[in-house]
């Protein structure tokens, strides 16, 4: 076994420990700041007991990821003059989408009379599109070590297919923005979004390892460790919620990682749960408008549909996680097919 993978796994373990260590005082700070989550009255009645649970827990993930990733690159620059410049892009998107999400979370906390709603959906979407376009242009035109960020691998097809820059940019914007919203919709039950995104990052970490993208492997497993550390406090009953600061950022970073491996066609498989959650919302809204008020699901995102069907919150999370692990394994296996 090459030393890169053990080192990346070790980084993930270290990130987990650091996240757990600083998580307890962070939760207490959020409580003192009264950064409580506003629960929508239209949601499942069982969720009303969560009113006031601290939100913006995604900061617990972002801080160690940013510090460890930047510290790792700084150390390599000092030692050998070599840096994994390519991972600075998903790191930048992690920060940018995290800032966008934090604004949304803060507005939601301040505006209790708006039932926990943050900034306008159009404003948030415009920000996501803007950041995604910038990232797509960088991958398409900037020579920054983006090994496979200009095309696609197709399972059972032996060669890498390069795409025209304009087509690539459109695909990249859809992937980053779509996955950011998909993880955001998944973040509705204790432990759900954290465990699902951790599984997806682990899968892409393995894929990046198979491609020899050392720095991307490290970034993926740092993300896994941070997500696991967050889950220490987000496990049912949650002591804090991820909030948009975490879900928007994690989704954008995951979409970027998928693009950088050239295996973005596998993203709907590896991240099947977030993708299905997003599609359930789109289908629900479309069906509601087409049928003048009828519903396709009991409630969306999809995890609420199963809750209202009699599944407990823990059952939904555990069953979705099982599906997420299996689809992540399937995605890795398809990436091996040439």
At 115, is the secondary structure helix, strand, or coil?
coil
Reported pTM: 0.92
Res 107: pLDDT: 87
The residue with tokens 């879900």 is 247
Question: Residue 155: what pLDDT?
Answer: 87
pLDDT digits (tens, 9 = 90+) for 173-197: 999 999 999 999 999 899 999 999 9
72-88 burial: b if 16+ Cβ within 10 Å, else e: bbeeeeeeeeebbebbb
C-alpha span between 137 and 259 (Å, rounded): 13
Q: Where are the alpha helices (DSSP H) in the chain?
A: 4-32, 59-80, 88-110, 121-141, 165-186, 192-210, 214-234, 243-261, 267-270, 272-290, 302-308, 313-335
Q: With residue 162 as reference, give the H or E element that holds it.
A: strand 161-162
- Per-residue pLDDT of the chain (338 residues), as tens digits, is 557 889 999 999 999 999 999 999 999 998 888 876 665 555 565 565 667 788 899 999 999 999 999 888 776 555 544 445 678 899 999 999 999 999 998 888 876 544 546 688 899 999 999 999 999 999 988 876 677 888 999 988 888 999 999 999 999 999 999 999 999 999 989 999 999 999 999 999 999 999 989 889 999 999 999 999 999 999 989 999 999 999 999 999 999 999 999 999 999 999 999 999 999 999 999 999 999 889 999 999 999 999 999 999 999 999 999 999 999 999 999 999 87
**157 CB-side CA count, 13 A:** 10
């Amino acid at each position: 076994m090459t030393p890169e993978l053990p080192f990346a796994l070790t980084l993930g373990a270290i990130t987990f420990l650091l996240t757990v260590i600083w998580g307890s005082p962070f939760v207490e700070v959020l409580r003192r700041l009264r950064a409580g989550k506003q629960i929508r009255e239209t949601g499942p009645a069982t969720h009303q007991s969560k009113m006031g649970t601290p939100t913006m827990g995604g900061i617990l993930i972002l801080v160690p990821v940013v510090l460890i990733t930047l510290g790792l690159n700084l150390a390599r620059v000092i030692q050998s003059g070599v840096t994994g410049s390519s991972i600075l892009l998903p790191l930048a998107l992690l920060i940018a989408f995290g800032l966008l999400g934090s604004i949304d979370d803060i507005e939601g906390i301040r505006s209790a009379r708006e039932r926990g709603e943050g900034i306008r959906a159009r404003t948030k979407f415009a920000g996501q599109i803007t950041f995604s376009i910038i990232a797509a242009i960088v991958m398409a035109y900037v020579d920054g070590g983006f090994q496979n960020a200009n095309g696609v691998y197709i399972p059972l097809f032996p060669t890498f297919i390069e795409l025209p820059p304009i087509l690539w940019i459109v695909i990249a914007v859809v992937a980053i923005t779509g996955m950011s919203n998909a993880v955001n919709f998944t973040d509705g039950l204790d432990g759900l979004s954290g465990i699902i995104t951790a599984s997806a990052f682990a899968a892409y970490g393995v894929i990046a390892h198979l491609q020899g993208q050392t720095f991307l492997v490290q970034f993926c497993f740092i993300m896994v460790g941070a997500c696991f550390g967050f889950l220490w406090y987000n496990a049912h009953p949650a002591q804090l919620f991820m909030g948009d600061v975490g879900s928007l950022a994690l989704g954008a970073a995951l979409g970027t990682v998928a693009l950088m491996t050239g295996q973005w066609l596998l993203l709907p498989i590896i991240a099947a749960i977030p993708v299905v959650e997003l599609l359930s919302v789109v289908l629900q809204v479309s069906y509601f408008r087409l049928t003048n008020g009828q519903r396709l699901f009991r409630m969306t995102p999809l995890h609420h549909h199963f809750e209202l069907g009699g599944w407990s919150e823990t059952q939904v999370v555990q069953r979705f996680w099982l599906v997420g692990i299996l689809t992540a394994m399937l995605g890795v296996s398809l990436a091996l097919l040439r």
